[in-house]
Amino acid sequence: MMLFTEVRGLPVVAPDGAGPLGTVTSLTVDAVTGSVSHVRWRGGRFGPEAALPWDAVCALGPGALRVRSAAAPESAPPHHDLLGRRILTDTGTGRGTVLDVAFDPRTARLLALFTTRGEVPADRLLGVGDYALVVRAG
């Protein structure tokens, strides 16, 4: 298990180990599959942000995120950072704010959402939008 906050800031390293390509800025989640779909990273302090599909990740550990290729895909899905996002249930009740997200680094499946009002199982995630993250009431 890893947390989003543990991944943010990790160096992105090419498979040849030639040095860091950049730094992880965030992870994009696909609410339909309940998993991380893309890794977003920046090559320098003022460089543009790039997105790589999770399939391009070959290893993830506490020291770095190693990728198979740094070639950016033609298009990446819209990104909504989960950290700090407001949470609403499908009935409109507020459930706090996302503090962190646990996921399996091998499969990219989300495991749990840690919020200001407690833990929410990842299988309750219904969608992520500009305003809030929506979870099934339960």
Encode pLDDT of 20-70 as tens digits. 889 999 999 999 999 999 999 998 777 788 899 999 999 998 899 999 876
User: Do 63 and 10 meet the contact criterion of CB atoms below 8 Å apart?
Assistant: yes
- The pTM assigned to this predicted structure is 0.90
H-type alpha helices, 1-138: 4-7
Sheet containing 35-42: give its strands across: 49-53, 35-42, 20-30, 11-13, 65-67, 57-60
Per-residue pLDDT tens digits for 73-115 = 556 778 889 999 999 999 999 999 999 999 999 999 999 999 9
Domain architecture of the chain: domains with CATH: 2-67 (2.30.30.240), 86-135 (2.30.30.240)
In 10 A of CB 65, how many CB atoms?
A: 24
